[in-house]
Structure 1
Amino acid sequence: MATQVDIPGYAAGTWVIDTARSNVSFQIRQFGVATRGRFTDFEGTIVTAENPLDSTVSTVIKTASVDTRNERRDTHLRKPELLSVEEHPTMTFTSTGIRADGGGLFVDGDLTVRGVTHPVTLTVDLDSVAGEPLERVTAHTEVSRKAFGVVGPLRVVVSDKVKVTLEIVVSKQG
């Protein structure tokens, strides 16, 4: 059993991502300049246990929903050498553990992109939304695109590191 942690306003239950109020975004450096994008089609569930450290998270993101505000770039990102959306229509994250460390909250889990799975750690910030049955969860991580086989033809001009930010609003079920 994990050590108990106290999170103000925390409630046990099953929570579903409110996609209209949530954002799954990324940032990568291309030609030395930050390029930002997001995924517009995703879903997920957070099951919060009595002890927050026993909770679970699972998400599914539709890779074809990539949106960088540039249709030509988005079409390129969907190709087989990058996201390969026809062969791999989804990417997933499934938590393997939640831990508190040094005043921070972290969600460890398995991220699968292009059929390749690697462990990642999300750094989490929690804010209660006063007076409403909603919770806001902000998390971020950094991953290697090459580790997941997202290489493409422009290896030199695009950085390996991708910053991922999740701004999630969930509503409690039942």
Structure 2
Amino acid sequence: MDMTPQVEIPGYVADTWLIDTAHSTVSFQARMLGAFKNHGTFDDFEGTVVTAADPLDSSANVTIRTASVNTKNDRRDNDLRKAYLNVEKYPTITFASTGVRTDGDHFLVDGDLTILETTKRVTLNLRPTSFDADGKSPARFTAQTEISLGEFGVPRGPASVIGDKILITLEIQASRKN
């Protein structure tokens, strides 16, 4: 069986990349009261992406500080920090990739996502959006996954206004480490 990636990545460069947090976004979207979507971000995060000679051997690690949750509503942010994320006890959310594979014309990145004290395997649908072989330009990636808060043990009472499914989107710009 031919395991050659079916995805073309123009200008692809194998290297170690540091996420440029000033030009990257970790965002989420949740249904509120079952009717409308609410958006938020985590504003304090860091991470590394290692692009290997064979893209399927690449890896990524990201750490998100839970206290940096930002929905542009102080009351809701405080509720999220205390009732849902328990930021004093669990100051970070982490993602560590465990493998990369192709699915048709895009990449899937499998990895371990840890929220609170629960680690679950998730799959990010990844799209490299730019590489420049000159070595001076940043690499850019977009990735998405959907998770269930219940599967991660995020407390949800009968009066919970936040839906169980959360769409997570990462818009990443990274610069070469060297």
**TM-score > 0.5, shorter chain as reference:** yes
Structure 2 residues without counterparts, runs of 5 or longer: none
State how 1:128-167 maps to structure 2 within 5 Å.
Answer: 128=130, 132-153=136-157, 157-167=161-171
Residues 133/154 of structure 1: CA separation in 2 closer, same or farther (3 Å cut): farther
1:87 corresponds to which residue? 89
Q: Quote the RMSD (CA, aligned, Å).
A: 1.6
1:12 corresponds to which residue? 14
State how 1:63-142 maps to structure 2 within 5 Å.
Answer: 63-79=66-82, 81-128=83-130, 132-142=136-146
How far did residue 115 of structure 1 move? 1.4
Structure 1 residues without counterparts, runs of 5 or longer: none
Aligned residue identity for 1:69: K
Find runs of 4+ consecutive structure 1 residues off by over 4 angstroms: 129-132
Query: Deviation string for 1:8-47 (max 9, x for gaps)?
Result: 2111010000000000000000011101000000000011
CA contact (8 A) 2:10 2:131 kept: no
Superposition TM-score, scaled by structure 1 size = 0.93
In 2, Cα distance between equivalents of 1:15 and 1:3 = 25
Superposition TM-score, scaled by structure 2 size = 0.91
2:173 corresponds to which residue? 169
